[in-house]
Amino acid sequence: MRMTLGKNVTNAIDALEIGDKLDKVKFITLHWGDCDYFIERSFDVAFCTAKKKFPERKFESKKKMIIRTS
């Protein structure tokens, strides 16, 4: 069974511990094969949806890095 891209984003942020970082461009390139404006926006939508599954966790985005802060 193939996982959806949304599920991949959810799994990626679920695995982050406090202080861990996720390189947005590397993640997008790995799963989408390319990184352009439209693909990046699709990732952002999947990321926002995934964040809602973990309301107790906080994330920051700096210079295309997603950082778990709490």
pLDDT beyond 90 at 3: no
Given a contact cutoff of 8 angstroms between Cβ atoms, the answer to whether 35 and 28 are in contact is yes
Instruction: Give the max Cα distance, the chain.
Output: 34
Task: Give the per-residue pLDDT at 68.
Answer: 96
pTM: 0.87
Average pLDDT over the chain, rounded to whole? 92
What is the pLDDT at residue 6?
87
Structural domain spans, the chain: 5-68
- For the chain, the distance separating the N- and C-terminal CA atoms, rounded to the nearest angstrom, is 32
Q: Tell me, what's the pLDDT at 4?
A: 81
pLDDT confidence tier of residue 2, bands split at 50, 70 and 90: low
Q: Which of 54, 9, 52 is nearest to 28 (CA)?
A: 9
Name 57's Cβ contacts closer than 8 Å, sequence gap at least 6. Answer: 13, 51, 68, 70
